[in-house]
Structures are given as structure tokens and as C-alpha cells.
Structure 1
């Protein structure tokens, strides 16, 4: 029975993988290009209705616009890595994971930044970035899936939007959603706030929640749920003074605390789950 289940998961993954690869390009919707034909994007608002308004006053199109503004800030600091194979690989993996969530129709976009450091970033609306240094340090596909699923968790729970409301209020949240045609002062405020948010990080409880969601999403996608904990164990061995890890260490709870929070969940729900580790990441990249 387990062999049949794994075979079915593999077939579905293969179909989703090829579909995501066919749709991928290196431009972000709203930032001078698109990842496909925008006219075919589903009307997310009508699908989810008022349930999408978890953050006061912000509907889904506005959430996506805010995410594009945040993504522009990130891309202004680090360019996208000029390696089509890796971009296809990460984008396909990310899309497969996103299909396992309650918001599969967001304009999910995954890309690798040209940065030797170890980090990952999410923005509202489904824009997710990992660094070249992070991808290169993954031992298997389940580890990378766990990291991407963690970032997907931030999007699902709208952690960044809640951080804006908490720290700056509804007025700035409105500015973030309406920068098209805005004056230079508002645009500067938006850029500065986004920079500060990613430099400071989210609340630790948001990170703990994203860890829990990441494990669940990865398991739903057929991956070994212990992929993310393995990454956290690796981070425990790194020095916070190492420039490649310093920003991530500064903006996240200590890896030991994150592992402690996950321990009960892993033992209770996932101890007998045997997902697909996926082998060495480089092996998948060579397939493109």
C-alpha cells in the first residue's frame, strides 16, 4: 500500500512540476513583467470572499499589491540569480508545496537571489525568495521543501501584514497597497518600512507558527516532515558571527528554541511518517 501511495504522489508531483516549469519566467507580476498571462489569473477575491480579510481593511488584491511592493524592495537589494535551471527547480518545488495549502490560487512566485548568505524571505501575496547560499547548503530536497513551506506559512497567516498593522498602523498599510501613482514621499516610506521589517524580523510566535505550518505542508506534499528540523539542527552548529548566517540568526528565534517547539508536534503527529527525501538537490537540478 505504501508503495502505491508513493507512486501516486510521484506521478502527481511530476505533473505539477512540469506545469510550474512551463509557466515560470524571471519577472514578478506588477514589477515590469509577469510569470505568465495575467489575464488568466483566477479572481481570488470571489473564491474566498470576505474570509480573505483576516487583516482589517485589506482585501486579497491589495495584499498582492503590497507583496509586489515588498518584493521590489528585496530585489532592489539583491538581484535574481542568473541560473535558469535553479530558478525552474525552486519555482516548481514551491508551486507543488503551495498546491497543498488553502490558498493555492495566489500568484505564487518563487525565485533564488544572488546572495552567498543563508536566508529566505516571504512577502504578502505569495512572493518567496531564497538565497543561493541557502540552496547550496541543502543536503536533500526535503530540507529545501521544509524551508519553502515555512515561508509559505508566513503568507498563509499574513504575518507581514499583521506586523505592519501592529508597528505602523492602518494608514501605512493603505499606503503600501496604493503606491502606484503615489508621491515620492509615500514610496520612500514604503521602501524604508519594508527594509526595516526584513532587517528586524517577525515576532517569534509568528516564526514558531510558520515552522509548524511548514512541517505540515511538506508532509502533505509527500516530503519527509523532518526536513525543516534537519535544517534547524544544522543552524544550531553555525556561529551568529558568521556573515553568511548573521542576518537569519538576528531575525529568527534561536534554532534550539524552534526545535523545542516542534518536538512535541513531530513526536505526536509525524514520528511514523516516511516521506520522500528526494535525494541530493543537485541531482534534481541536473534533470532540467
Structure 2
């Protein structure tokens, strides 16, 4: 009797499991058979291929850092950037960057500051905390506060997730963002392209200016350096520096910053000693 009862229970459990499986398969078949917006490839196929997918709209900080590391690796391995090996310069730039980053909107990110061997006046950043400063920009600055104002601006792009939004917009424009998300290899490729093209919108730039200025002040640097550096670059003859050529209306940015700085407090803070700065970057001169 007990054996018959056990067999009955087992058959009943089997039927329940089978009905449940059939329901799942039916639901999947209906979903996969329905056209999905921007679905270049189904998530089930990507799963079967073992491809890592990023949900860009819900990218976690850990995923952002992971993606940033891969973009950084590609930039270096492809020869797009050549990093400076000078230990003193690297430590100096990292010291400035870490001092500023603790006052950013996302101080918990593991920020990485790297010096690029390039005489063009440029700086850029990519997601996950990676900031790149060209040697040409370091030499163009008169003092530490001016350099710090640029570093703060780039940190602000990261802390406001501008690179992540650019990645999403580019993937949508290219039609490679599916309902499942964005394939890892393509995400890295787009990230590398964006790192140098810097397609920041006017709103992004103004936002990074405001956030960067606040960072600069909280870190104890003189806020006047932000405007001083922009004005100096704007006055340069010939082709505009790369740092400005990819940014909108420098004069508008300067006016917006001037509204945020009290003239009486503009020079209060550190980093305005030109001679001390020249001594710090002597190996580049």
C-alpha cells in the first residue's frame, strides 16, 4: 500500500514539473516569436554562445569599472596612447587626481590617473575612473591649480556617467543595442572610439565645469585657476588646442564659471605658485 501511494505521489510531481516546463517553453516561444524593438540578436542565442552582455541602462559600478579596464587596455595595446614611465610625474599627477576625486559625486570609484606622452594640449576620460592627461597640457599649465582644474573637469565626466550615456547613444545610433543589451566586445570598441572623439554635449561640458569647479574648491585649490587656464588657451593663436577644439563655446563656459566664483574669493586657495609647479614638472621641460 505504501509503495502504491509513493508511486502515485511521484507520478503527480512529475506531471507538475512537466506542465511547468511546458509553460516556460511556450512563454519563451511566444516571446521569441514576437518582434522586439532594436533586437539584433535574441538573448537566448547570446546565452548559448557564451557572450557577455552589458545592460547599459542598468550598468552597475562594478561592471562600469570592468568595462573601463578593458577600454584602457585596448587604448594602450593598440598604441592609441603611449604612457609616460617617469615615476615622479606619474606620482604627482596621481596625487592631484586622488586629492580631487574624494570630493567627486562618486568617490568610491577606483580612479586611475595616467600621463600620456603627447605634446598636444589635451585630456580625456573614460568610464570606470580612468583619466588621461597629455604631457602637452601639463606643460601648458602655469601652476598646479590650473592643471587641477582640468583633472577635476575630467573626473566630473566620470562621476556624472557621461561616458556611459554616450556609449548607450552610440550603440542605439549604430543599431547594435539589442533588447538583451550590448555585447562586451562591441562595448569596448565603442568605448575606445569615444575616448578620443569626445562627443560631449554642451550640457555635459557645462555640467562637468560646474562639478569640477566645486571639486576644485573643496580640495582647497584657488577657483580662479579654472578661468585663467581656459582664457589662456582661448588666446592661443593658430589651431585651437585639442582640449578646446572638441568642446562647445569656450567663451560661454568662461561666463558660466565667472557667475559661480566670488571675485573676493577667487584667489583664495592653494596651487597658484608657478615656480613650485615648474619644479614639480622639471623632467618634462
What is the TM-score normalised by the length of structure 2? Answer: 0.70
The alpha-carbon distance between structure 1 residues 271 and 66, as it changes in their structure 2 partners (threshold 3 A), is: farther
Q: Which residue among 134, 137, 144 is the counterpart of 1:141?
A: 144
Q: Which runs of 5+ in 1 are unaligned?
A: 1-54, 180-185
Whichever of the two has the greater Rg, that structure is: 2
Higher relative contact order (CA 8 A, sep 6+): 2
**Residue 126 (structure 1) aligned with residue 126 (structure 2):** no
SS of aligned partner of 1:265: coil
Q: Which residue among 145, 150, 154 is the counterpart of 1:151?
A: 154
SS of aligned partner of 2:257: helix
The 2-side partners of 1:285 and 1:239 are apart by 24
The 1-side partners of 2:196 and 2:135 are apart by 18
Contact 2:103 2:215 in 1 (8 A): yes
Aligned position for 1:171:
177
Contact 2:124 2:195 in 1 (8 A): no
The alpha-carbon distance between structure 1 residues 256 and 74, as it changes in their structure 2 partners (threshold 3 A), is: farther
Q: Which residue among 273, 282, 285 is the counterpart of 1:279?
A: 273
Aligned position for 1:5:
none
Shift of 1:83: 1.2
Aligned position for 2:204:
206
Shift of 1:272: 2.1
Contact 1:98 1:104 in 2 (8 A): yes
In the TM superposition, 1:229-240 aligns within 5 A as 229-239=227-237
Moved over 4 A (4+): none
Shift of 1:158: 0.3
Aligned position for 1:74:
75
What is the TM-score normalised by the length of structure 1? Answer: 0.69
RMSD: 2.5
Shift of 1:71: 2.0
Shift of 1:240: 5.7
Q: Which residue among 93, 98, 122 is the counterpart of 2:96?
A: 93
Aligned position for 1:225:
223
SS of aligned partner of 2:220: coil
Q: Please, which moves more after superposition, 92-101 or 189-198? A: 189-198
The 1-side partners of 2:198 and 2:93 are apart by 26
